[in-house]
Amino acid sequence: MHHDNDNTPRLISMNDAAALTSLSRTMICRLRDQGRFPEAVPLGEKRIAFVRAEVVEWIQARIAGRRAAA
């Protein structure tokens, strides 16, 4: 059973995170290496995902930072 409001964390792929942020996969990797992007969730030996809410929060922080810098 799937409910949109069940508070279950949603995982998104690297490609989805790239699309959501408008960043390239390479840039996301750079930011991750610098500790400036949400931590990935390991799913397997060569597979990771991100918690969608954390990526959205990261985006909102970038927007808020823009306002603070103005």
Per-residue model confidence as pLDDT tens for the chain (70 residues): 455 667 889 999 999 999 999 999 999 999 999 999 999 999 999 999 999 999 999 999 999 998 776 6
* CATH 1.10.10 applies to domain 11-69: yes
Q: Which pLDDT score, from 0 to 100, does residue 17 have?
A: 98
Amino acid letter for position 61 = A
Under 8 Å between Cβ of 54 and 18: no
Q: Which amino acid is at 6?
A: D
Provide the token pair at 48.
Answer: 């990771």
Q: What is the pTM of this model?
A: 0.85
What pLDDT does residue 37 have? 98
Whether the CB-CB separation of 26 and 60 falls below 8 Å is answered with no
